[in-house]
Amino acid sequence: MNPRMAPRMQSVVRFLSFLACAIPFVAILGLSFSPENPTDRRILVLVDDLAIKSSHSIYFKSLQSRGYQLDFQLADDSKIALHRYGQYLYDGLILFSPSIERFGGSINTAAIAEFVDSGHDLIIAADESASDLIREVAAECGVDFDEDPGAVVIDHTSYAVSGTDGDHSLIAAGDFIKSAAILGSKTVEAPILFRGIGHSVNPANNLVLKVLSASPAAYSANPKTKLANPPAIYGSSISFVSIVQARNNARVLISGSLKMFSDQFFLSGVLKAGSPIKHKKSGNEQFLTEISKWVFHERGHLKAVNVRHHKVGEVDEPLMYRINDDLEYSVEIFEWSGASWEPYVANDVQIQFYMMSPYVLKTMSTDQKGKYHASFKVPDVYGVFQFKVEYQRLGYTSLSLSKQIPVRPFRHNEYERFITAAFPYYGASFSMMAGFLVFTIVYLYNK
């Protein structure tokens, strides 16, 4: 071998060995959450008791079969941590530990709030034994569990008939939010079994949505004592399951019942009081599976790409527009289906041409393949404008695009000259000049 080639060969070998090390590493990174692949992958499940792993196995299996890596830990384990060396170890957190008074390790309410603030997802399930800590975490998300420690939701009209239970705290709920993005396209036929505490959502907080509400006859009280005072929350203001989509598109699910996730409730039949139909299986499995798809970004996650704008008849994007230019704007919107980006088809995506207020607000036409298009005339006003797409729909992540573009007035040589309609005015002006000359001559030379 040529001795001068040796060092180059060596560097090639070194590069190949680097690649061999790097490829698995890249593959691991690819599994986690990213803007290109927004479904969560690594999920920390905090439980009070590892028995929940088997008593709620159907729910966990459905998550695992969809590709989630669940990491079960006791909530008071001193080694648990959400992040290490500035990196989050998990994309999602499931709190199935209603009675925990204090988390182990570095986790506390602030750490969980920060976890959500950095765009990660959260599922909280409480029950009758909900601790102050869990109530505090829920309050951070904008829902308030009934403060009475012994209170559960009681409903004497839409309870589930069962042999043992006489206090009507096992509820057959069916008052869902109307959104295919959140609950899936298939409607949940069977009632949802619920036994636990109710919560109310702050009406001023428009990020929280009630997904499963109580019937108007429900109330929250302690079934073992006589009802002395009016219940704190009652009627359809009681929410069984609520969701939050934060402004950073992090999603949170809050439920007042841990039991509704259990195998027992998933598999048991349900006969709603007063209803002739006995369902062989409750709607819990379908409902909770579909909503977990939403929470972990398998559904309703939008992205906008290929924002383009140009003058009509041109291709390149200009640095600025002139007033009264005709322009075309297009953007492509895709929805994440859990495995790939599918075209998002809607007829209500609007473009704004915005300077302090929208000068142009137009619904974009779609080609049914995810591409949205609008053409309009730049208003007769110059200044610094923005192309804005603000798209916020129930169950979908919010899209907020803005692109700044200046609009200039006509240049001096762009004005129209020698307009036919203006010829009389030109004539008048010139005749005034000629008149001035004639007048001067006549005035000076008379006498």
Report the interface residues with another protein, using CB under 8 A. Answer: 415-417, 419, 421-422, 424-426, 428-429, 431-433, 435-436, 439-440, 442-444, 446-447
Structure tokens at 260: 């509704």
CB of 411 to another protein, least distance (A): 14
CB of 419 to another protein, least distance (A): 5
Q: Are 179 and 396 in contact (CB under 8 A)?
A: no
**Maximum Cα–Cα distance for the chain, whole Å?**
130
CB of 439 to another protein, least distance (A): 5
Please say which residue, 15 or 439, places its beta carbon nearer to another protein. 439
Q: Are 159 and 170 in contact (CB under 8 A)?
A: yes
CA 411, CA 408: separation in Å to the nearest integer? 8
Please say which residue, 1 or 421, places its beta carbon nearer to another protein. 421
Q: Which helix (H) or strand (E) holds 66?
A: none
CB of 430 to another protein, least distance (A): 9
Q: Please, what's the b/e burial string for 329-358 (b: 16 or more CB within 10 A of its CB; e: otherwise)?
A: bbbbbbbbebeebeebeeeebbbbbbbeeb
CB of 366 to another protein, least distance (A): 38
Please say which residue, 85 or 443, places its beta carbon nearer to another protein. 443
Please say which residue, 356 or 421, places its beta carbon nearer to another protein. 421
Q: Are 245 and 80 in contact (CB under 8 A)?
A: no
CB of 425 to another protein, least distance (A): 3
CB of 413 to another protein, least distance (A): 12
CB of 320 to another protein, least distance (A): 24
Q: How far is CA 244 from CA 86, 200, 254, in A?
A: 25, 13, 8
CA 130, CA 144: separation in Å to the nearest integer? 12
Please say which residue, 79 or 411, places its beta carbon nearer to another protein. 411
Of 439, 386, 406, 232, which is closest to residue 321 (Cα–Cα)? 406
CB of 346 to another protein, least distance (A): 42
Please say which residue, 5 or 432, places its beta carbon nearer to another protein. 432
Q: How far is CA 249 from CA 1, 246, 255, 392, 441, in A?
A: 60, 5, 19, 11, 83
DSSP 97-156: -TT-SS-STT--HHHHHHHHHTT-EEEEE--TT--HHHHHHHHHTTEEE-S-TT-EEE-S
User: One-letter amino acid identity for 316?
Assistant: D
Please say which residue, 315 or 433, places its beta carbon nearer to another protein. 433
Using alpha carbons only, how large is the chain's radius of gyration in Å? 33
Please say which residue, 411 or 417, places its beta carbon nearer to another protein. 417
Please say which residue, 18 or 439, places its beta carbon nearer to another protein. 439
